[in-house]
Amino acid sequence: MLKLFHTDNHKTHEVSEITEGTWIKLQSPTNEEARRVAEALNVEFNDVMAAIDPEEKTRIEIFNDYTLIITDIPVKEMRHHEETYKTIPLGIIFNRENIVTICSEDTPLINYFHENEIKDFSTKKRLNFIYQIMLRTSMFYQRALTDVDKKRVEFEEHIGTVRSESDLVKIHELESALVYFMTSLRGNNNVINRLARSNLLSHYPEDRELLDDVIIENQQAIEMAQIYREIIDGTRELISSIMNLRMNHVMKSLTSITVIFSIPMIISGMYGMNVDAKWMPLAQAVHGFGIIGLVTIFVCIIAFVILKKNKMNLLFPYFSYNLANRK
């Protein structure tokens, strides 16, 4: 989709022709739309379509007639029936007269500009426009990071009831989003530093102040991503510890059950051996079976008490753990 915008009298509106000061917005452009823009601005077709590739790396290339910037922006997506985040490339091409933005998806980060949501925005101030985009990008990252951390807090509130694979997938998706964010933010930071050091771009005083804000906000987003990544790592270790604890409970339960039930098995096995009955106690008694059964139960109760005193009597750890958490 190709749209053209121009700012007049502090208002940005859509136009039909490319003139000086026009902002060209490309969203999932067709080859025909990309060629039209490439011919109108005298730029390479591959540079126009570079941002459509989801694997495109962040970079800045300064040519004689135009400058190409590839930066990453955060967007929401659905994975495993859960809302999460990913990053996609945003391409910016500008020359002395026009500026082009290219993105594979519709994003509010770009829509804010032509919807007149940005104060003092003008399509004629190309470098200022670029810094505004990067500043909004850093703010979007911070907002997304805050959302990821909220989901992490909600997950930890119910961490004691984590039992299914879907619960583990949730924490994995949060961790994956942070990995994408950290990688993209570092790439964006390299682009910002390159812009700050470039002597080929003319910087007005207000542009320089805006660039300083961009550097600060992007660095803050990087630090937030690092902190939240470390917290997520701690959450994953906590889940692992809880899983190991439950496994220990299960093993104790199985051990106690095995010990208790082995007692009647041993006694019944002895009486089932092919030996002379006169040598087996109570074998010839009238109520021998009942007496042996009572003795077996009594021995099992003694074993039960001994295991309980040694904290091994955990026959139903799963249910007792759930009851404790609900209380």
What is the rounded average pLDDT of the residues 150-178?
A: 76
- Total number of domains in the chain: 2
From 208, 243, 278, the end of a domain falls on 243
Integer Cα distance of 135 and 147 in angstroms? 19
From 243, 263, 285, the end of a domain falls on 243
Q: Residues 95, 191: one domain?
A: yes
Say what angle helices 126-157 and 165-197 make with each other, to 10 degrees.
Answer: 160
**What's the pLDDT at 326?**
44
The larger pLDDT score, comparing residue 76 to residue 273, is at: 76
The larger pLDDT score, comparing residue 260 to residue 201, is at: 260
- Note whether 40 and 13 are within 8 A (CB): no
Does position 1 have pLDDT exceeding 70, yes or no? yes
Integer Cα distance of 162 and 91 in angstroms? 42
**What's the pLDDT at 204?**
64
Does position 138 have pLDDT exceeding 80, yes or no? yes
**What's the pLDDT at 164?**
61
Integer Cα distance of 140 and 109 in angstroms? 8
Q: Single out the residue of 228, 72, 214 nearest to residue 145, CA to CA.
A: 228
Does position 110 have pLDDT exceeding 60, yes or no? yes
Under 8 Å CB-to-CB from 1, ≥6 apart: which residues? 26, 27, 28, 29, 33
The larger pLDDT score, comparing residue 192 to residue 78, is at: 192
For position 216, which CATH number holds? 3.30.460.20
Q: Residues 313, 234: one domain?
A: no
What is the chain's Cα-based Rg?
Answer: 34
Q: Residues 13, 145: one domain?
A: yes
Q: Single out the residue of 79, 203, 220, 62 nearest to residue 131, CA to CA.
A: 203
Look up the domain containing 312 and give its range: 245-326
User: If you average pLDDT over every residue of the chain, what do you get?
Assistant: 81
Confidence of residue 161 (pLDDT cuts 50, 70, 90): low
Does position 219 have pLDDT exceeding 50, yes or no? yes
Confidence of residue 163 (pLDDT cuts 50, 70, 90): low
**What's the pLDDT at 223?**
92
Does position 327 have pLDDT exceeding 60, yes or no? no
Q: Residues 31, 13: one domain?
A: yes
Does position 57 have pLDDT exceeding 80, yes or no? yes
Does position 153 have pLDDT exceeding 70, yes or no? yes
Number of residues in the chain: 327
**What's the pLDDT at 261?**
81
Does position 142 have pLDDT exceeding 90, yes or no? yes
**What's the pLDDT at 70?**
93
Whole-model pTM: value is: 0.75
Q: Residues 89, 106: one domain?
A: yes
From 243, 268, 299, the end of a domain falls on 243
**What's the pLDDT at 320?**
44
Q: Residues 217, 269: one domain?
A: no
Does position 317 have pLDDT exceeding 60, yes or no? no
Integer Cα distance of 255 and 52 in angstroms? 59
Q: Residues 89, 204: one domain?
A: yes
